[in-house]
Amino acid sequence: MRIHVVRSGDTLWKISMNYNVSINSIVQTNAITDPDRLIVGQSLVIPTPDDVHIVRPGETLWMIARMYNVTIQDIVRENNIVNPNLINVGQRLRIPKPVIEVNGYLTQTGATGEEILRWTGPYLTYFCMFSYGITAEGNLTPLNDESVISMARSRGVTPLMCLTNFLGRRFSSDLVSGFLSNVEVQERQLTNIVNTMRQKGYEGLNIDFEYVYPRDRENYNAFLRRAADRMHANGFSISTALAPKVRADQIGLLYEAHDYPVHGQLTDFVVLMTYEWGWAGGPPWAIAPINEVRRVLDYAVTVIPRNKILMGIPLYGRDWRIPWVQGTIASTVTYMQAIRRALQYGVPIQYNETYQSPFFRYTDASGQQHEVWFEDARSYQAKYETIKEYGLRGASYWALNLESIPNWPVLTSNFRIAKL
């Protein structure tokens, strides 16, 4: 894979000739709807063969392995090398890609959810069904999810039950507070969870409790211990979703009850929700600015094993009205919607190097100005380079129903996806 940023005067024919690939392969890889219209600043994924290194004079396998951040054993195994000390100048070596685990949250059931898993399945290790909710009595809110679980299994994807403190259309601090203070209700809930997981074929539990009161921090830790013991005793994995903290004593309802060291100790892995800096109720900003993501990782890796961390990645963008006014709400946009709006209004796409994120501004037919931040091939590549640099377990997407076509070829150009 290469990434080409469209310049003034570029056409698909020129780009295809420059990279010696077909126009059709570029169109298909990037889901281009009108091959005659490109946007200045648009990033295009250019499909190329897998990495091959041609040995130069003086090179050793140790040097080549360091160059590509893989092990000597990986290269030996990939190329069936008999004697690692004997490689020849001009020899072509296939460079193996690192293996990571990839999770995606799914919010759709039925035929829509099945279709989403049908085409995203090859790129996933897990999918998290969002969501089952806790109740004050210890019952599970029901979900008609049998068909999506079946589809996931047919695509080699491990299904995880996602448990939340959702009430209506938002997370409830009061609901989870009452739940965490009642051990009897927790035990009943865990029994219902285990029975449902066995019945439906789930293989792990993902707990996503958000906006937990700071006073409930230790109660949350105690529940997590009970849940981990129960899951492991029944052969299930357990994971949690954590707010993006940059220090242990970070203030705020979203952060204080999330005890990184305890979650890192008790769970099989955690999902760091490293997105939503540009949130719907706030001013325009990148959804996952890479400098902010790195601040979270800098803290997280000091208290959670790196091989337990899935870095959160958004598959969506947002469109704000500007000048921004407190109380206004941005609309969520997919990658394709963002590209269509840039095309519709004939505006170039810009790229913020600090945030490693694309954005553009336009004025609609009513005269209202807008600012759009989203993700593209360049921003995804920056995130995957970060996963490699920090040596993380993998990635987790919010959310699979928000289409982001360029992400998948960028993902597979950087990694092989673990299947359990």
CATH value at residue 30: 3.10.350.10
CA-based max dimension of the chain = 71
| Same domain for 237 and 271 | yes
| Same domain for 44 and 56 | no
Single out the catalytic residue among 101, 210, 256, 292: 210
| Same domain for 219 and 80 | no
Told to judge if 210 belongs to the known catalytic residues of this protein, a careful annotator would answer: yes
pLDDT at res. 50: 66
Average pLDDT over residues 132-155: 96
In a domain, 332, yes or no: no
In a domain, 2, yes or no: yes
| Cis ω for the linkage preceding 358 (within 30 of 0) | no
| Same domain for 249 and 221 | yes
Q: What's the CA gap between 221 and 84, in Å, rounded?
A: 49
| Same domain for 184 and 121 | yes
Instruction: Give me the number of domains the chain comprises.
Output: 3
pLDDT at res. 67: 83
pLDDT in tens, 356-386: 999 999 999 999 999 999 999 999 999 999 9
| Same domain for 106 and 26 | no
Domain encompassing residue 82: 52-94
Least-confidence region, from 292-296, 318-322, 360-364, 413-417? 413-417
| Same domain for 150 and 41 | no
In a domain, 401, yes or no: yes
pLDDT in tens, 218-263: 999 999 999 999 999 999 999 999 999 999 999 999 999 999 999 9
| Same domain for 292 and 143 | yes
**Spatial contact of 243 and 275, defined as CB atoms under 8 Å apart:** no
pLDDT in tens, 234-243: 999 999 999 9
In a domain, 392, yes or no: yes
Average pLDDT over residues 266-281: 98
| Same domain for 306 and 257 | yes
End position of a domain, from candidates 94, 118, 149: 94
| Same domain for 145 and 90 | no
Q: How far is CA 162 from CA 141, 165, 206, 395, in A?
A: 11, 10, 5, 17
| Same domain for 162 and 89 | no
Going by pLDDT thresholds of 50, 70 and 90, the confidence category of residue 146 is very high
| Same domain for 111 and 66 | no
Q: What's the CA gap between 238 and 206, in Å, rounded?
A: 6
Question: What is the pTM assigned to this prediction?
Answer: 0.94
